[in-house]
């Protein structure tokens, strides 16, 4: 191909990108959520650069130091220290990496399993559909927190196992919605057309149906990251998730709750961190839904 | 007897109704010779689309083929496994659909989609396939073929999409193209162009065509033979010219009379009284007898079997033989 053609191709891509940037302007949810997530991502990617201290090092002489705006607070420990004299801000920053790793990994596994089940059930229908959907019914009959607690008493908690356990409790939501979408797409004329051209079932699912559900999967997947972060916090709070001394927002809340009446900030800050992360994810996913919803 | 390219024998397709199975296609037989155009004319619900879908083995799940055979090059398509059938679809028998606007995947560029049959059947792929598509686009007279392959379906007009679909149907050089009301969704001038195109390409690619339509006008231009269907049955079959000049079945006659002509001076067009029967409450005997001007006693009791009136002319009517 000629040089002129590749540049025009590139020009087209750049223009497309600019157009989609233009589209973001009208979506404050996406922008606000995105900025909040960007803050979280900084903490996830570069905790060492952001955190002023080692999250595990304790400075017993300075235990329960107040945040810097208190008269006896200092910038050395910007948000104060916990009962063992560990820097609260550093612990919160390092927790973000763990929570988001579990959240993203869990949501990804949940999406892969859920989409596969939903596609197969919706596309083939019949007996297979009945079996798979009754399985999801059974799964839904268990409250997800309870199921996660039950599984985690058997499995040794680690970042991977907690992510997997939470994925197990959440894939059904994907499976259900995707199945519903596939049921309607399966009947569209271009799917019949593809079959008339001799396309195999796998090819039709891959090329003709999956592109339609990806937007939905993305929006729902981001929400699931938020749900998993909340569940992980809950589990860690109960002592079933991330074990001390490794910091996580959940076990920080648990460790520090006894000081709530005397030095409340030690428990409030980890709680705010969870709220910040979950809110950022929710707003971002809502913004995505607005953009994609307009298109689909 | 020489074997035809496609031979449908006594095909019956049933749907589950409130009181058991109801035939939507009832004992249809037809033959298609290589390189000819067979027109199937009928009102909505007469079973013409179901017959076509049965040939492709793409009937809706609820439908059951209860009897009959569909012989294509000596093989009964109804007996083939899904894998064998898939090799035939698109490569040896392909379809052109009624609604070009919704028959393409909106997410992919047209060039790639038209190449779909080529790559699904592993004939050619990649750059070679794209070159083939450009050739096909040229032969269906899409202007600027090289650039338009990169367009998405929404950037095409209905007529252009129908051309692209014809290109797709022809891409593997099939023996038969089934066009199910290919011009219904298009406006009249575009219809004309598409029909001319079908005619030209039929010669060029030496393909047999089954053209399904509810319009006598569409069929009469390009079909070699016409099959009249009504309520799931074949009422009459003859060469196109014969059927236009000397129709034997009262339904064909009535239908031809209701086609508007430039020469007529009457204010109202003659119409066929009544409406086509619902398949769930089909009249006894001949399905057309409640609307037929010369129905006799036998017509409401016994179902007429299509019989050969003269060479190549089949009629299913009690009154036609006397």
SS (H, E, C) A71-110: CCCCCCCCCCECCCCCEHHHHHHHHHHHHHHHHHHHHHHH
Q: Name the residue in chain B with its Cα closest to that of A196.
A: B89
pLDDT over 80 at A26, yes or no: no
pLDDT over 90 at A110, yes or no: yes
Is there a contact between A220 and A174 (Cβ–Cβ < 8 Å)?
Answer: yes
How many cross-chain Cβ pairs, A to B, lie less than 8 Å apart?
A: 59
Question: Does any CB of chain B come closer than 8 Å to the CB of residue A202?
Answer: no
CA distance A3 to B9: 59
Question: Does any CB of chain B come closer than 8 Å to the CB of residue A193?
Answer: yes
Lowest mean pLDDT among A2-6, A55-59, A180-184, A195-199: A2-6
CA distance B146 to B137: 9
In this prediction, residue A148 carries a pLDDT of: 87
Is there a contact between B132 and B212 (Cβ–Cβ < 8 Å)?
Answer: no
Q: How many separate helices (H) and strands (E) can be counted in chain A?
A: 12, 0
Question: Mean pLDDT per 10-residue run, chain B (322 residues)?
Answer: 80 87 88 90 86 90 89 89 89 89 87 86 81 89 88 89 90 90 83 87 89 85 89 88 86 83 72 79 83 82 83 83 62
pLDDT digits (tens, 9 = 90+) for A136-179: 999 888 888 888 888 888 888 888 889 999 998 899 999 999 99
Nearest by CB to residue A195, choosing from B58, B106, B121, is B58
Question: Does any CB of chain A come closer than 8 Å to the CB of residue B108?
Answer: yes
Beta-carbon separation of B88 and A198 below 8 A: yes
Whether the model pTM is above 0.80: no
In this prediction, residue A18 carries a pLDDT of: 58
CA distance A280 to A285: 9
Question: Does any CB of chain B come closer than 8 Å to the CB of residue A128?
Answer: no
In this prediction, residue A136 carries a pLDDT of: 92
Question: Does any CB of chain B come closer than 8 Å to the CB of residue A188?
Answer: yes
Query: With helix as H, strand as E and coil as C, how does chain B read?
Result: CCCCCEEEEEEEEEEEECCEEEEEEEEEEEEECCCCEEEEECCCCCCHHHHHHHHHCCCCCCCEEEEEEEEECCEEHHHCCHHHHHHHECCCEEEECCCHHHCCCCCCCHHHHHCHHHHHCCCCCHHHHHHHHHHHHHHCCCCCHHHHCCCCHHHCCHHHHHHHHHHHHHCCCCCEEEEECCCCCCCHHHHHHHHHHHHHHHHHHCCEEEEEECCHHHHHHHCCEEEEEECCEEEEEEEHHHHHHCCCCHHHHHHHHCCCCCCCCCCCCCCCCCCCCCHHHCCCCCCCHHHCCCCCCHHHCCCCCCEEEECCEEECCCCCCC
Using pLDDT thresholds of 50, 70 and 90, give the confidence band for residue A2. Answer: very low
Beta-carbon separation of A197 and B61 below 8 A: no
The residue with greater pLDDT, A113 or B259, is A113
In this prediction, residue A132 carries a pLDDT of: 93
The backbone torsions φ and ψ at residue A268, rounded to the nearest 5 degrees and listed phi first, read -70, -40
Determine the average pLDDT of the residues in A30-34.
89
Nearest by CB to residue B87, choosing from A188, A189, A198, is A198
Nearest by CB to residue A198, choosing from B97, B107, B120, is B120
Report residue A235 as tokens.
């589990």
In this prediction, residue A16 carries a pLDDT of: 58
Beta-carbon separation of A196 and B91 below 8 A: no
Nearest by CB to residue A189, choosing from B86, B103, B168, is B103
Determine the average pLDDT of the residues in A8-34.
67
Q: Are strands B313-315 and B233-239 parallel, antiparallel or unpaired?
A: antiparallel
Is there a contact between B156 and B164 (Cβ–Cβ < 8 Å)?
Answer: yes
Mean pLDDT (chain A) is 85
Beta-carbon separation of A125 and B61 below 8 A: yes
Q: Name the residue in chain B with its Cα closest to that of A208.
A: B105
Question: Does any CB of chain A come closer than 8 Å to the CB of residue B120?
Answer: yes
pLDDT over 50 at A3, yes or no: no
Task: Enumerate residues 6+ apart whose C-beta is below 8 A from B21.
Answer: B14, B15, B64, B66
Q: Show residues of chain A in contact with B103, CB under 8 Å.
A: 189-190, 192-193
CA distance A66 to A266: 9
Task: Enumerate residues 6+ apart whose C-beta is below 8 A from A190.
Answer: A208, B102, B103, B104, B105, B106
How many angstroms separate the CA of residue A195 from the nearest CA in chain B? 8
CA distance A29 to B21: 55
Q: Show residues of chain A in contact with B117, CB under 8 Å.
A: 197-198
Beta-carbon separation of A207 and B99 below 8 A: no
CA distance B128 to A105: 41
Beta-carbon separation of B103 and A125 below 8 A: no
Beta-carbon separation of A196 and B168 below 8 A: no
Question: Does any CB of chain B come closer than 8 Å to the CB of residue A211?
Answer: yes
In this prediction, residue A151 carries a pLDDT of: 87
Lowest mean pLDDT among A66-75, A88-97, A187-196, B26-35: A66-75
Task: Enumerate residues 6+ apart whose C-beta is below 8 A from B2.
Answer: none
The residue with greater pLDDT, A17 or B221, is B221
Q: Show residues of chain B in contact with A211, CB under 8 Å.
A: 105, 107
Nearest by CB to residue A194, choosing from B87, B106, B116, is B116
């Amino acid at each position: 191909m000629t040089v002129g053609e590749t540049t025009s191709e590139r020009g087209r891509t750049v223009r497309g990108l600019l157009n989609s940037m233009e589209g973001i302007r009208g979506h404050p949810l996406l922008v606000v959520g995105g900025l909040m997530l960007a803050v979280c991502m900084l903490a996830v990617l570069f905790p060492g650069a952001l955190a002023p201290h080692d999250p595990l090092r304790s400075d017993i002489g300075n235990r329960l130091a107040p945040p810097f705006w208190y008269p006896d607070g200092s910038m050395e420990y910007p948000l104060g220290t916990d009962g063992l004299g560990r820097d609260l801000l550093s612990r919160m920053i390092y927790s973000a990496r763990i929570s988001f790793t579990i959240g993203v990994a869990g949501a990804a596994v949940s999406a892969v399993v859920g989409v596969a089940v939903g596609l197969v059930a919706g596309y083939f229908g019949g007996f297979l559909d009945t079996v798979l959907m009754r399985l999801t019914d059974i799964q839904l009959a268990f409250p997800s927190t309870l199921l996660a607690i039950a599984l985690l008493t058997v499995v040794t908690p680690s970042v991977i196992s907690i992510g997997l356990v939470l994925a197990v409790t959440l894939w059904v939501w994907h499976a259900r919605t995707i199945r519903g979408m596939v049921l309607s797409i399966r009947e569209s004329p271009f799917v019949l057309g593809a079959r008339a051209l001799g396309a195999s079932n796998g090819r039709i699912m891959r090329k003709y149906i999956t592109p339609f559900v990806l937007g939905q999967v993305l929006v729902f997947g981001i929400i699931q990251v938020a749900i998993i972060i909340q569940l992980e916090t809950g589990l860690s709070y109960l002592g079933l998730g991330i074990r001390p001394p490794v910091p996580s927002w959940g076990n920080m809340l648990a460790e520090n709750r006894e000081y709530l009446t005397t030095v409340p900030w030690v428990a409030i800050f980890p709680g705010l961190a969870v709220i910040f992360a979950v809110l950022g994810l929710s707003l971002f996913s809502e913004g995505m839904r607005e953009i994609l919803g307009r298109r689909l | 007897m020489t074997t035809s390219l496609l031979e449908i024998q006594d095909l019956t397709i049933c749907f589950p109704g409130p009181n058991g199975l109801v035939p939507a296609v009832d004992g249809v037989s037809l033959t298609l010779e290589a390189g000819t155009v067979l027109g199937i004319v009928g009102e909505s619900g007469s079973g013409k689309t179901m017959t076509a879908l049965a040939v492709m083995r793409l009937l809706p799940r609820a439908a059951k083929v209860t009897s009959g055979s569909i012989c294509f090059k000596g093989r009964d398509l109804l007996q083939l496994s899904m894998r064998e059938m898939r090799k035939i679809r698109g490569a040896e028998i392909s379809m052109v659909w009624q609604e070009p606007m919704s028959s393409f995947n909106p997410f992919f560029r047209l060039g790639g989609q038209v190449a779909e049959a080529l790559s699904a059947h592993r004939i050619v792929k990649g750059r070679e396939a794209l070159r083939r598509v450009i050739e096909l686009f040229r032969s269906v007279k899409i202007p600027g073929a090289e650039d338009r392959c990169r367009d998405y379906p929404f950037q095409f007009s209905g007529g252009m999409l129908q051309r692209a679909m014809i290109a797709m149907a022809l891409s593997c050089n099939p023996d038969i193209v089934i066009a199910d009301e290919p011009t219904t969704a298009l406006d009249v001038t575009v219809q004309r162009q598409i029909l001319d195109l079908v005619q030209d390409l039929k010669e060029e690619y030496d393909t047999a065509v089954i053209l399904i339509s509810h319009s006598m006008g569409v069929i009469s231009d390009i079909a070699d033979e016409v099959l009249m269907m009504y309520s799931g049955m074949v009422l009459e079959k003859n060469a196109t010219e014969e059927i236009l000049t000397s129709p034997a079945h009262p339904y064909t006659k009535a239908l031809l009379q209701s086609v508007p002509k430039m020469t007529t001076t009457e204010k109202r067009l003659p119409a066929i009284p009544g409406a086509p029967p619902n398949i769930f409450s089909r009249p006894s005997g001949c399905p057309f007898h409640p609307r037929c001007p010369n129905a006799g006693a036998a017509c409401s009791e016994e179902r007429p079997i299509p019989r050969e009136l003269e060479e190549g002319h089949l009629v299913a009517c009690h009154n036609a033989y006397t």
